[in-house]
Structures are given as C-alpha cells and as structure tokens.
Structure 1
Amino acid sequence: FLGVTEDCAHFLAAELARIGEVPTTSDGWDAVALESVRLQREKGKFVPGLGHPVHKQGDPRTPVLMQLARDNGTYGAHLSLFDAIGRVHPQVLGKTLPLNGAGVCGAVLADVGLPMGVMRGVALLARCAGLLGHIVEEQTHPVGIDIYMNVDRNIDYQPPK
C-alpha cells in the first residue's frame, strides 16, 4: 500500500510531461484527464490513487487534504490533474471510484517538489505516526484486554480438522 503515493506522483508527472503546457481552465484539465484515463485504460492499466477498498463512496481524507493544499498554496498542476481525473473517469470506466488519500498525497508531494524516490518514505513515516497514535491511545484508554476477554468468553473454540 505504501507505493500508491509514489506511483500516483510518477503517473501524474508523466502525464504532465506528455501534455507539455498545462491547462488554465477546469474544462482544459478535464480534457487532459479524460485523455489520461483513456490512455491508461487502453494500456490495460489502472490509474494510481483511484479507488479505495473500504471508502467506496469517497475517502474522507481526500477533501481535507485538497483543502489543506489550497489553503497553503500547494495546489498545483499534479493535484489539478488528479482532481480532474476524479471528475471525468466515470466517462471512461463506466463507474465512479473515489480519489484516495494516498493518491492525493502523491499529487501534493509532487507539487511541492519532493523527489519521487523518497515518497514511499513519507508514506512510511505517516504510517509510523499513526501506529504511535494507536499505542498512545491504548496506553491512555486501554481496550485490548477487554476485546480479548469478550472474544474469549463468547466464541467456541473449534479445533482444526
């Protein structure tokens, strides 16, 4: 899962290099995005950062990350293209998939100029920070033993056959 951030950044950078001059309007971005999704589909490839195994109706991180980018002046060409992909991909795929948070992170990190080769490291740092948060939460509000005891009391053990 850590590769989506970097894969999305590479994909968006390649598409921006392919088109040369970036669009200046929403319609322009949508046209580029439509072509990008069509080209990926023709190659039999997925668009990195599109879809989520849990958040089928929309990744809750996505709008927050996009707003943070807008608020901090880091909403650039990569994120503009990715946002447009979110709008137009149903025309090619025939279904709507959410833009996921890892893909948005790849777009933003590319927009701020982070080298592609360290993006997995940034994703790993984020995962580690989340793990530390869970550890602190369990230390301050322990629930692990309660969950274990509840399962142990209510599940009949079935030996392997």
Structure 2
Amino acid sequence: MADDQWGDQYDQTGRVPFHWQSSISYKTADRIVLQGYETTELAEAGWSFAAVVFLLFQGRLPKKNEEKMLNFFMVEFMEHAMSPSTLTARCCASGRPALNAAIAAGILTFGEAHGPGHLHGIMVHKYMEMGEKNGWTLTQIAEQLVKDHKGKMIMGLGQPQHIHGDPRAIRIMRMGRELGVAGKFHDLQVEIEKAFERINGKKVWTNVIGGANCIFMDLGFSPLAAWAIGVLCRGFSCAAHAIEEMTKEKAWRASRTTKMINLLDLSIQGPKYYDGPPDRPVPKPEDRKE
C-alpha cells in the first residue's frame, strides 16, 4: 500500500506498468516496424510515399488504383500559390523564427474557409447515415442537407478564386471515376451540388475539399485521416514558401515603404511576379533515366 499526496490509500498490486499501446508501429534498437512491415524493407522494395501513407492510416498496402488515386490527390493538393496558409508562413518567416514555427503558422490557418478539414466529411457521413436509415435516395439526402443549411455556408461547395469551378475538385473526382474508386460519397457530393442549384437558383461548384473528401471516404479513410493527409501535403508547400522567404527576401519586408494591396489578390499572383522555370510540358515518369 502507498499514500498519494492527498493521503488516500491505493493498492498497486497487479497494476500494469505504464506504457504506450499502439496498433500502428513499434521499434527496437535495430528495426522500425509499421503495420507489420519493416520500413527499410518497404523503401527497398520500392513502395511509394503515397502507398506508405495509405498503409499508415489504413493498416494495409493499397491496391494499384488506390495508390494512384492517393498520389494524384497529394500532388494536386500540395500547392495553391499565395493563399492564407502560404502567406502566413511567409509573414512569419519574415520575422526569422525557426523554420518549423513558420510552417506551423501556415498550417494553423486551416479551417472552415481554407485548407483541408474534416467538418465536410463529418457532415456528409451524418447525412449519409440518416438517409440510409430512412431509406432515402442520394438525391433526397442531398436535398435534405441543402435545406438544413439554408442561408448557411455548406462545406465542400464554393471557392472564392475558382468561381467557374475548382479545377482540382473536377480533376480529383474525374480521376476517382476513371480509377474505379468513386463510390456513394462521390455520388452524394455530385447530388449536393445539383440540389444546391435547384433549391437556391444559382450554381456553386464543388471545391477541392468537397471533391477530395468524398473520394477519401470512398477509399475508406476517416474524415480525420483525410484532414491529416491534406495538412501533410500543404505543409510541404508552407515549408517551401517559408524557406524561399528566408533565403531570397529581406527580413520584415512589405513594411513602411511598400505600397500595400490585398495580399491575396490574383493581380499579384500571376506570371508577372513569378521568376521560376517557364511553363513546360510534364514528362512521363517512365521516361526518366535510371
């Protein structure tokens, strides 16, 4: 028997010593094992980054079409030029903190109106379960969702800079269909877009969050896992922008002597202010040299 700081008695006989319990991974002095596979062996066997991300969250290696779909999303979502996250990472970097602080600052901008999020996935799951319980069609589920959000923002619809349709969402959903991974959540998102137009009398396109989340859920990812993968992808972008700001620009720029403008305006994001490589055709991966 032992006394705690408050004088109460408790019996530690048979108590299991504290330890972390995980079904994801373990490590020894010589090995790191993820979902049963040694990570070095995964790398040596040629499994891609996307495939191992799939393994990490789902506990199994993906089928070829699943890996291709996840990789497609990760590439499509990784960069969005000047946006709240990259701009925040740059502003933070202009103060010359540690790099990870600038990356974290960018990631912290993700919320209801920008970046990856799980709220859309939770909403769609909720209405899908409600509809299946009541025997509704996908059209009926979508109409109920839109009616319940009358006068409110609907997660997964609308993008302020892609007013004629978010090209990322269009491509992601199309690829999901082509690869045969698009399922009921993809179909429900299509119906939500249609129902919004019928009920509100105006067209609002599915954005990248709506398009990606529905495919993620059809692949078996939870809304939280989809959120995390989106953060991971855009985090690379925040890092690149922060590094460029730290190495290419003066500290604390855009201050007193700079003519100010809306920092996210498309007029300052075009090719006029881009000094990277010129537009060029995308080569086929199989054409690479060994």
Q: When the two structures are superposed, what TM-score results if normalisation uses the length of structure 1?
A: 0.71
Measure the CA separation in 2 of the matches of 1:62 and 1:71.
14
Higher fraction of helix: 1
Measure the CA separation in 1 of the matches of 2:157 and 2:123.
12
Equivalent residues in 2 for 1:103-142 (5 A)? 103-131=210-238
* 1:62 is the counterpart of 2:62: no
* 1:38 is the counterpart of 2:147: yes
Q: Between Structure 1 and Structure 2, whose CA radius of gyration is higher?
A: 2
2:47: which partner in 1? Answer: none
Structure 1 counterpart of 2:119, one-letter code: D
C-alpha contact (below 8 Å) 2:170/2:211 kept by paired residues: no
Structure 1 counterpart of 2:196, one-letter code: H
Structure 1 counterpart of 2:130, one-letter code: R
Higher fraction of strand: 2
Measure the CA separation in 2 of the matches of 1:83 and 1:5.
19
Q: Relative to structure 2, which stretch is displaced further, 62-71 or 122-131? A: 122-131
Give 1:118 deviation, angstroms.
2.5
Equivalent residues in 2 for 1:1-161 (5 A)? 1-2=110-111, 5-20=117-132, 28-41=137-150, 45-131=152-238
Give 1:73 deviation, angstroms.
2.1
C-alpha contact (below 8 Å) 1:90/1:96 kept by paired residues: yes
SS for the counterpart of 1:127 is: helix
Give 1:133 deviation, angstroms.
6.2
C-alpha contact (below 8 Å) 2:173/2:212 kept by paired residues: no
**Cα gap change, 1:156/1:92 in structure 2, threshold over 3 Å: closer, same or farther?**
closer
Give 1:60 deviation, angstroms.
0.8
1:148: which partner in 2? Answer: none
Q: When the two structures are superposed, what TM-score results if normalisation uses the length of structure 2?
A: 0.42
SS for the counterpart of 1:67 is: helix
Query: Aligned pair count?
Result: 144
C-alpha contact (below 8 Å) 1:9/1:78 kept by paired residues: no
Measure the CA separation in 1 of the matches of 2:237 and 2:221.
22
C-alpha contact (below 8 Å) 1:8/1:49 kept by paired residues: yes
Measure the CA separation in 1 of the matches of 2:210 and 2:237.
18
Measure the CA separation in 1 of the matches of 2:122 and 2:259.
49
Deviations for 1:80-121, whole angstroms, at most 9, x for unmatched residues? 101111122122223221110012111111111212333321
Structure 1 unmatched runs, 5+: 146-150
Structure 1 counterpart of 2:226, one-letter code: M
C-alpha contact (below 8 Å) 1:2/1:120 kept by paired residues: no
Structure 2 counterpart of 1:32, one-letter code: I
Deviations for 1:40-89, whole angstroms, at most 9, x for unmatched residues? 22xx5422111112111110111100111112222111111011111221
C-alpha contact (below 8 Å) 2:118/2:223 kept by paired residues: yes
Structure 2 counterpart of 1:29, one-letter code: L
Relative contact order (alpha carbons < 8 A, sep ≥ 6): 1 or 2 greater?
1
C-alpha contact (below 8 Å) 1:62/1:99 kept by paired residues: yes
